[in-house]
Structure 1
Amino acid sequence: MNNELLYLKPDVYFEPLLNHWYAWPYLMPPVTCARHVVNTHRRIMQSFVKNYKLHIIASKESVLTGGEFLNCTEEQVDDIKALIAELDERCGDLIELSDAVKYLDDLLYAHTSGESIEHLYDKVPDPLKGCVELFLDMEHRPSYRIIEPLMYRSQYYKPSLQSLSFGLLSKVGERPFVLSTPRLPDANHLQVNADFNSPIVDAIFQAREKPLSVEQVDALFAGLEQTGGVAYRELFTTEKPAIKHVPVEEGVRLNYTGHAGFMVETKDVCILVDPIIASREHNNDGTMIGYSELPQTIDYILLTHTHMDHANIETLLQLRYKTKQVIVPKNNGGTIADPSLRLMLKQLNFDVIEVDDLEEIAIPHGRIVSLPFLGEHGDLNIRSKAAWYIEAHGKKCFFGADSSNPDGNLYQQLGKIFTDLDVLAIGMECVGAPYTWAYGALHTKKVPKNIKNSRRLDGSDCNQAVPMVEAFNAKQVCVYAIGLETCFKYFNGLEHEEDSRQVQESTKFLEACKKMDVPAEMLFCKKTIHLK
């Protein structure tokens, strides 16, 4: 019997996969999943097979990172053809569901009289029958809502398409971009055919703190189909990891966790906002916060919105075993562009609380409040977004994520209620992704170019952020790193230069804060703020 105890290596990185593609929030709900499988995954793969030389050239251009080009070689053309065939075979009902959405859109688009639409229920295509409500708005225009709980209980929610991929940064050096290329088995990864709720998931990630015996590790992987060139034993080490978390003795401690994330701690509670934790302890120059610096228990995770760089499934699954509750903004209820975060995370076995605007949750010596969040969603009617106000031991913090400020009156109103902030944190992604980046696949008609470019997913610029500082009477301001941390390039694909508008607006904003005598800085990698 081997008495060795095994810990998960600190340079292991994890990618949750759905049908071989990196899993992000819109691949979880059945309807949005169907639309992306057909209109993103299959379309890009078919384009690669037809024009693989163009894809190969484009994938080598850093300026095109994040574009719809497969990062594959000529030798992998047959592998992609096989994935297309597998998609058509395994996802036939998802293809039918995607087609049903188009049929229903066309059916309702043709109803122009404004008269009753009850007779159209008989024409709803089979994949959506009994799972949608048809309605007319106050201008007599037809639309529908998806009854999401039923869809999650239908054949169209497919955990069987989920799998797990593990890599070692010591092998690859830098993680490849995740959103435009399916994950083919290769020499640098281990792919395991298990869904996101498999017991293996929590057990593996808990092994960062609680070791497993060799027999336990072997039992976890026994009977699971495994592909790739990394053996599962390579993910583990006998070296005991350093526990770097230091408990809070007094006051409120804020640790910036990278991108748009913060960890807020007191001696009584730990709260994570939009966590994306670095994949290893020694990222860049060692200043990136890692899993070893998190406490044994996370009381709350707060998610600001459904975009994958804020509701990050990769990180959430790695934190699930130690997380008590996740708090999410209230959902519109069934619109295709605004799937429910609560329902999505419940499928992943999280305990989820959904809160409305200005709704409060009590914490020891304080409260968490959901604040309205405008902008960054292409002018769509998306309600699943919130900024978070956290008050503890008399200290007040606002985490605005990608909030923009198209109507300064909102913050004038909020500033009357939530004033004298100790810390205001805001993003400056003032040139966001094109509208179609998140929502193009959901449309059943081509989005005109002028709409795509006009309705970008923009956050704040300097002119929008300054009134927020004034309205909240903020004592200190933090600007998120807006993609400058290279360890997160694998999902954001950004390479901001000094002359990029995002950097220019951030610099301008910092200067404006200085003129107002408000300390302000752009965050990068690791930053600790202790409020006493």
Structure 2
Amino acid sequence: MSSELLYLKEDTYFEPLINHWYAWPYLLPPVTASRYIVNTHRRIMQSFVKNYKLHIIASKETVLTGGEFLNCTEDQLQDIQSLITELDENCGDLIELSDAVRLLDELLFNHTSGETIEYLYDNIPDPLKGCVELFLDMEHRPSYRLIEPLLYRSSYYKPSLQSLSFGLLSKVEERPFVLSTPRLPDDKHMQVAAEFNAPIVDEIFRAREIPLSAEKVDQLFKGYEQTGGLSYRDFFTTEKSTFFHEPVEEGVRLRYTGHAGFILETKEVCILVDPIIASRDADNAEAMIGHSELPASIDYILLTHTHMDHANIETLLQLRYKTKKVVVPKNNGGTLADPSLRLMLQQLNFDVLEVDDLDEISIPDGRIVSIPFLGEHGDLNIRSKTAWYIEVYGKKCFFGADSSNPDRNLYQRLGKIFTDLDVLAIGMECVGAPYTWAYGALHTKKVPKNIKNSRRLDGSDCEQALPMVKEFNAKQVCVYAIGLEPCFKYFNGLEHEEDSRQVQESNKFLAACKEIGVPAEIMFCKKTITLK
């Protein structure tokens, strides 16, 4: 008797977890992971245990979404204490590695003579011995670089801390915010004790397109510990999605996929830029592009930078089975704040190509070029960021992500090389958080308040973005949705109001583009952009 065939449900949402917390890029490299696990995760959980009532009150305030408050109940107090105990027991060596970073910083801070530092190798803290190179810059200031590939091959890289969480949009009012609260098993989710590279991962997500027999589904989950109130069978259905991918027969098709994502297709090639493909239910199925509308094969995924809303592990793992190559910007070579995206994704079994400024990749009837990216990283020396220029069939598109424009000379020079754009896409997140919101855990000394307030994760405003339109002689402008899409609130946190500066600057930018005769609009969830 033949088995029924099962598809993964359209409203299934997936969260990759590391040590019970939502996995974002800086939790993959061992040294940065150690700093965040100790200085963010453990610290926030200890704060909850010490003063859970404050966290409960704060978590109910929408304006505080994204802050360092656990969204847990009093009944979960013991669960959080158990996670702290588990962290101390299972991550003792990572705690020591985090402390070693602090001790190494102190060691180098105290070397002020400018003379040779070779004698300091003997004093490097044990967890980092053999994994760092010490050096002096041209002003005789000491620093170090991490030998990242060696650290991934050490005991400090722990795939055993990885697990998978699944939920259904039909079971929750909205997806909970992902960054400030560990994922505890509950009656609305299922957690599976499987690593990100486990064969089950690709098989589950391939089932959106190619159904599995009921016996195969049972076999897939056999042997994996599962917790939570949902069963794996709850995530499968005999009904195929009514949405499907429509092939491109001729020319170029450009579609906005939400947040900062685009998909560019011709008959010969498919390219995704910064994809975050959210799950959808009946309420938002028409408004959003879902996994079932993507092609069966993706030639290139282009990532602009390492922030989790652009290099999104949640989406990347769901696309891995159909992706040929991921293209990423080159990093600084072992600096703490700028770990290698290439190495991260190679650990997750992606075929990765790393590019430098203005490197070119040939594609059928066109090319991809990496474009220098300024700003949005709090003035940190982070090189892992690039905008993308795609030219195909004579159509030219620039995807600027969160690039800002503090030096207009850069775009004056670039505009002479990459001119007459058909589409310029840019974000207008002009009021970013203090840079310590993303990078604070990496510091080993307290950052003064005035520095926090000055150095922010700002993108462009109208004054910075408009010269880009002019220098590139753009025919059409797309502004990213800047947090206006409710379906992405689970990682955006706050929703911008109409009087927020981001919205005001976007509207000002639209008006300025109209004044110079360039059509411009704010994207929203799903849209096909006509290449004129």
TM, length-normalised to structure 2: 0.99
Counterparts of 2:159 and 2:433, CA distance in 1:
29
Residue in structure 2 matched with residue 310 of structure 1 by the alignment: 310
Matched, 1:349 2:349: yes
Residue in structure 2 matched with residue 324 of structure 1 by the alignment: 324
Residue in structure 2 matched with residue 482 of structure 1 by the alignment: 482
Residue in structure 1 matched with residue 510 of structure 2 by the alignment: 510
Residue in structure 1 matched with residue 155 of structure 2 by the alignment: 155
CA contact (8 A) 2:332 2:384 kept: yes
How far off its partner does 1:438 sit? 1.1
CA contact (8 A) 1:342 1:352 kept: yes
Amino acid at match of 2:392: A
Change in CA separation of 1:364 and 1:136 when aligned onto 2, cut-off 3 Å:
same
Counterparts of 1:360 and 1:283, CA distance in 2:
41
Residue in structure 2 matched with residue 212 of structure 1 by the alignment: 212
SS at match of 2:390: strand
Map residues 2-13 of structure 1 onto 2, 5 A cutoff. 3-13=3-13
Residue in structure 1 matched with residue 93 of structure 2 by the alignment: 93
How far off its partner does 1:286 sit? 2.4
Matched, 1:57 2:57: yes
How far off its partner does 1:241 sit? 1.9
Counterparts of 1:325 and 1:48, CA distance in 2:
42
Change in CA separation of 1:244 and 1:32 when aligned onto 2, cut-off 3 Å:
same
Map residues 45-444 of structure 1 onto 2, 5 A cutoff. 45-280=45-280, 282=282, 284=284, 286-444=286-444
Counterparts of 1:247 and 1:286, CA distance in 2:
19
CA contact (8 A) 2:378 2:455 kept: yes
Counterparts of 1:48 and 1:238, CA distance in 2:
43
CA contact (8 A) 1:251 1:531 kept: no
Counterparts of 1:16 and 1:309, CA distance in 2:
14
CA contact (8 A) 1:485 1:525 kept: yes
Structure 2: gaps (5+ residues): none
Counterparts of 1:456 and 1:14, CA distance in 2:
30
Mean Cα deviation higher: 285-294 or 296-305: 285-294
Residue in structure 2 matched with residue 494 of structure 1 by the alignment: 494
Counterparts of 2:229 and 2:172, CA distance in 1:
12
CA contact (8 A) 2:366 2:392 kept: yes
Alpha-carbon deviations, 1:96-153, whole Å to 9, x = none?
Answer: 0000000000000000111100000000011111110000111110000000000000
Counterparts of 2:378 and 2:392, CA distance in 1:
34
CA contact (8 A) 2:131 2:148 kept: yes
Alpha-carbon deviations, 1:144-186, whole Å to 9, x = none?
Answer: 0000000000000000000000001100121000000000000
CA contact (8 A) 1:420 1:473 kept: yes
Counterparts of 1:296 and 1:488, CA distance in 2:
24
CA contact (8 A) 1:258 1:524 kept: yes
CA contact (8 A) 2:136 2:143 kept: yes
SS at match of 1:106: helix
Aligned length: 532
Alpha-carbon deviations, 1:351-398, whole Å to 9, x = none?
Answer: 000000000000000000000000000001100000000000000000
How far off its partner does 1:281 sit? 5.2
CA contact (8 A) 2:419 2:471 kept: yes
Alpha-carbon deviations, 1:470-512, whole Å to 9, x = none?
Answer: 1100000000000100010001102111100000000000000
How far off its partner does 1:285 sit? 6.5
Amino acid at match of 1:331: N
CA contact (8 A) 2:301 2:327 kept: yes
SS at match of 2:155: coil
Counterparts of 1:387 and 1:149, CA distance in 2:
26
CA contact (8 A) 1:2 1:214 kept: no
Counterparts of 2:209 and 2:40, CA distance in 1:
38
SS at match of 1:241: coil
**Identity fraction in percent:** 82
Counterparts of 1:340 and 1:352, CA distance in 2:
11
Matched, 1:530 2:506: no
Counterparts of 2:127 and 2:431, CA distance in 1:
38
SS at match of 1:531: coil
Amino acid at match of 2:99: D
CA contact (8 A) 1:281 1:290 kept: no
CA contact (8 A) 2:169 2:281 kept: no
Amino acid at match of 2:164: L
SS at match of 1:300: strand
Counterparts of 2:375 and 2:388, CA distance in 1:
15
Counterparts of 1:387 and 1:124, CA distance in 2:
38
Counterparts of 1:284 and 1:109, CA distance in 2:
54
How far off its partner does 1:283 sit? 5.2
Map residues 8-19 of structure 1 onto 2, 5 A cutoff. 8-19=8-19
Counterparts of 1:215 and 1:244, CA distance in 2:
26
Counterparts of 2:522 and 2:530, CA distance in 1:
17
CA contact (8 A) 2:423 2:531 kept: no
Mean Cα deviation higher: 372-381 or 432-441: 432-441
Counterparts of 1:433 and 1:263, CA distance in 2:
28
SS at match of 1:431: coil
CA contact (8 A) 1:165 1:191 kept: yes
SS at match of 2:272: strand
Structure 1: gaps (5+ residues): none
Counterparts of 1:319 and 1:521, CA distance in 2:
29
How far off its partner does 1:284 sit? 3.2
CA contact (8 A) 2:170 2:281 kept: no
TM, length-normalised to structure 1: 0.99
How far off its partner does 1:243 sit? 4.3
Residue in structure 1 matched with residue 40 of structure 2 by the alignment: 40
Counterparts of 1:281 and 1:423, CA distance in 2:
31
Counterparts of 2:243 and 2:481, CA distance in 1:
26
Amino acid at match of 1:48: F
How far off its partner does 1:444 sit? 0.3
